[in-house]
Chains A and B, each alone.
Chain A
Amino acid sequence: MFDFLEGYNVLEAFWTTVQLTVLSAVGSLIWGTLLAGMRVSPVPLMRGFGTAYVNIVRNIPLTVIIVFTSLGLADIFGVTLGSRDFDVQGFRLAVLGLIAYTAAFVCEAIRSGINTVPLGQAEAARAIGLSFSQTLRLIILPQAFRSVIGPLANVLIALTKNTTVAAAIGVAEAALLMKEMIENEAQVLLIAAVFAFGFVVLTLPTGLFFGWLSKRLAVKR
């Protein structure tokens, strides 16, 4: 029944999906946290930049961003990201695009977490002489993160599925292989089912793990 899978390396395609997801997740977590820091910063210029970034980037379709990284950044501006190899370059550009896009959502999740931390925590931190960045790093963000593990898991699951957009610039991940198989094989429904199942296998444990983590790390008040 599954002999249509022969000649296709489904696992390798999903491995690329996993790599896209993990690298983009780490990158967007870092960039998103920095953006959240900017959005609550006392410096108007940084606040303005953070707000503008989030509102512009999260309202552009991911496809447009990913296609721009290839046609715009690479072809027009000559950004190579350290590789002339088309596949490697495409992969890196896709990660860059995914980070830029996902960070906007990470930022907003973290910012809502920052809002759950009582004002008194920041006042107490400032009162013992901690600077703004120390207060943010040592007191506010650690508590904010713990309260938004659930929403961050949502962002991560969305990111996992969003990696399929990288197919638009030819990154050999799961969705690109699915498209190729649908073109060449007859069992369209089965092929779709196999890939759907693959994504559920990736995202379902993510959701469960983060749910558990969120309960475990909750800050008691």
Chain B
Amino acid sequence: MSDIAINKPVVAMSGPKGRKPKPLLSPRNIMIYGTLFVAAAYYLLPLYVMVVTSLKGMPEIRLGNIFSPPVEITFEPWVKAWATACTGLNCDGLSRGFWNSVRITIPSVIVSIAIASVNGYALANWRFKGSELFFSILVVGAFIPYQVMIYPIVIVLREMGIYGTLTGLILVHSIFGMPILTLLFRNYFASLPEELFKAARIDGAGFWAIYFRIMLPMSLPIFVVAMILQVTGIWNDFLFGVVFTRPEYYPMTVQLNNIVNSVQGVKEYNVNMAATILTGAVPLIVYFVSGRLFVRGIAAGAVKG
């Protein structure tokens, strides 16, 4: 009797029913989208000015309206920035710096990540006597200002006979990446279930077998995070590039500075803008290509219990 009544409601429903309507222009939405729009404009406007200026000829720039789009698009500034801009010493543009930066960044990233990941793995899984102390010292290293260490490192590199060479700079980058990368990898490996490591040990896998066959395949996101941190960090480095190399090995950032600050003749704003965008292109591309993995890796390292 009662179940019949439940199945067939006799009285029509009145009052609110179904999905609750959500107005598009609620105060909450206006706040959220307004803030996002302002923030986006703040970051995108300078980029817009740079792109627009780099595509203009010098006569058009002299008109002084920096926000107006180019009347006549020209790629000449880009070509000049890459190939023929003068730095005071030579006139082969940014290309020399670009290849120097590539030769610095790739080995530094590979060496630092390879060593730091093994460090992190050992610290997280193979607790040896004093490993906590070792780890603390390494973390403290991350907080020492670079400037303090520059002169001692110059001496060390000179004594090793690699001062002013690419090898020397690669070594410095690899070492300076170590504290933060080791911290990153240790925390990631510590967040992986400990029982996996135990199971692998029962299965008879040793230090390297567990690292290469169990841990490495599970750690792609954190490797991407480390790669992005290192590529952008080393590519954008200016200080070490100036201090530890000779002019013929200057990385792209230093080269860019020399082009922009060279005082002969007129300031070619369009060439400067093009050179700046070219220099920033590499980290930008890295972000676009691996951004999704980057976010996933950061999240995995942060909250995975």
Whether chain B is bound by chain A comes out as no
Q: What is A's interface to B at a CB cutoff of 8 Å? A: none
Q: What is B's interface to A at a CB cutoff of 8 Å? A: none
